[in-house]
Amino acid sequence: MPASPRSPGIVAGRLDAGALAERFSDISPRLDPHEALVAADRCYFCHDAPCMEACPTSIDIPLFIRQIATGTPEAAARTILDQNILGGMCARVCPTETLCEEVCVRETAEGKPVEIGRLQRYATDTLMDAGVHPFSRAEVTGKRVAVVGAGPAGLSCAHRLAMHGHDVVVFDAREKPGGLNEFGIASYKSVDGFAQREIDWLLQIGGIEIHDGQTLGDAITLDGLVAEYDAVFLGMGLAGVNSLGVEGDDRGNVTDAVDFIADLRQAEDLTGLPVGRHVVVIGGGMTAIDAAVQSRLLGAEIVTLVYRRSQERMAASVWEQDLATSKGVTIIHNAMPLRVIGNGAVREMEFEYTRDGAGGLEPAGETFRLPADQVFRAIGQKLEGAPDGLTLERGKIAVTGAGRTSLAMVWAGGDCASGGDDLTVTAVAEGRDAAEDIHAKLMEA
């Protein structure tokens, strides 16, 4: 008998290929030219536009929307990419509901913002489909920069450095570049291999080499890079995962949500990817939401996301929370894990309700259990493998200004660096700004 959502345990093929293809299809497909004109027409082209202020990469939003409105989407794409070279991915993954669209005057006045993210995607997709790379390199400077990490921060830094004429070598521990664009972002936000297509397009600038399977601290060392290159940028993200720290955390089928998501992103055939019947996800951010939603989409019968604080404290936006509940995920707030129960593998999870007390979060004295054949930990990532000698601040690489670390000629940006939100767009902004600072420093000499 074929597997179904009610099959016990962790099994593959709960749904057939057709159902899975539909469930994992593009969540917000590209606007067609007419839809884009209608959406652009809603913009007031505000002076001192609040949307632009809210964009971590400071894209000139009214300008690019005007360029769409006047029928020049390629020019609009250039406006976007000038500031954000991964504008195509950011158009797909930015939580616009908490950034540009939250402050759009149309949102304030009517509760319906201009669809900035979708317009950005329309412009950047139009340009990329035409195979155009609108930037060229300055005269080669002879300076060489090493970039560690081929995620959004590293790629953005590498592209800006290459534009200034420097030669860049990017080292990444994984077998493919892209960082979380390739291994983390939910499948339905980035379909049809977009992450790799965007990297191929970005590399058209020239002057960038990517070396996969090269881990800092293993195949390469920071001292070695500093000695060999004129400058180093660290964009290594957060490779470690926080543990639950409760009894039974090491039981079978209790795993990291990021690993499940990476497997899902790399799976060529989703019917071969096993998922539990009763899935419990612990956490309150995007990773937790993505693991929960994608478990449901794969066919898990009951998926429960448990977060220890109140709904308002969840890092995932209200849009993300609504997405999860619309897909049938149950969200329980104010409950913390107490122990994993099971003989070898997990069978149940025990939780205790919490409340806000004078000294912070405190147990409320009432416990409950959820049946679980698969549990995903999603309570945050942490920096792993930071080279010795770098000053850290709250577990991340301490930086000042445009990503300057405590070591001369070493910069850092993205999730691994102190300050800033852990968002794709912030990583792109920090990579770009560090590249400008590196360029200025290299040209002083």
Ligand X SMILES: Cc1cc2nc3c(=O)[nH]c(=O)nc-3n(C[C@H](O)[C@H](O)[C@H](O)COP(=O)(O)OP(=O)(O)OC[C@H]3O[C@@H](n4cnc5c(N)ncnc54)[C@H](O)[C@@H]3O)c2cc1C
Residues that bind ligand SF4 (CB under 6 A): 43-46, 49-51, 61-62, 65, 104-106, 114, 116
Q: Which is nearer to ligand SF4, 51 or 208 (CB)?
A: 51
From 235, 276, 284, 403, residue interacting with ligand X (rule: CB under 6 A): 235
Binding partner at 236 among ligand SF4, ligand X, none, C-beta below 5 to 8 Å by kind: ligand X
Q: Which is nearer to ligand SF4, 59 or 258 (CB)?
A: 59
Task: Mark the segment that binds ligand X (CB under 6 A) among 33-41, 106-114, 173-181, 294-302.
Answer: 173-181
From 148, 293, 407, 412, residue interacting with ligand X (rule: CB under 6 A): 148
Dihedral angle of Cα 25, 31, 32, 35, to the nearest 10 degrees: 140
Residues of span 196-215 touching ligand X by CB under 6 A: 215
Nearest approach, Cβ of residue 415 and ligand X (Å): 4
Nearest approach, Cβ of residue 44 and ligand SF4 (Å): 4
Q: Which is nearer to ligand X, 75 or 262 (CB)?
A: 262
Residues of span 261-290 touching ligand X by CB under 6 A: 261, 286-287, 290
Binding partner at 314 among ligand SF4, ligand X, none, C-beta below 5 to 8 Å by kind: none
Binding partner at 50 among ligand X, ligand SF4, none, C-beta below 5 to 8 Å by kind: ligand SF4
Q: Which is nearer to ligand SF4, 100 or 291 (CB)?
A: 100
Nearest approach, Cβ of residue 138 and ligand X (Å): 24
Site string for ligand X, 294-323 (x = CB under 6 A): ------------------------------
- Under the criterion CB under 6 A, does residue 149 sit at the interface with ligand X? yes
Catalog residues that contact ligand X under the rule CB under 6 A: 93-95, 148-154, 171-174, 179-180, 184-185, 189, 215-217, 235-237, 239, 258, 261, 286-287, 290, 385, 414-416, 422-425, 427
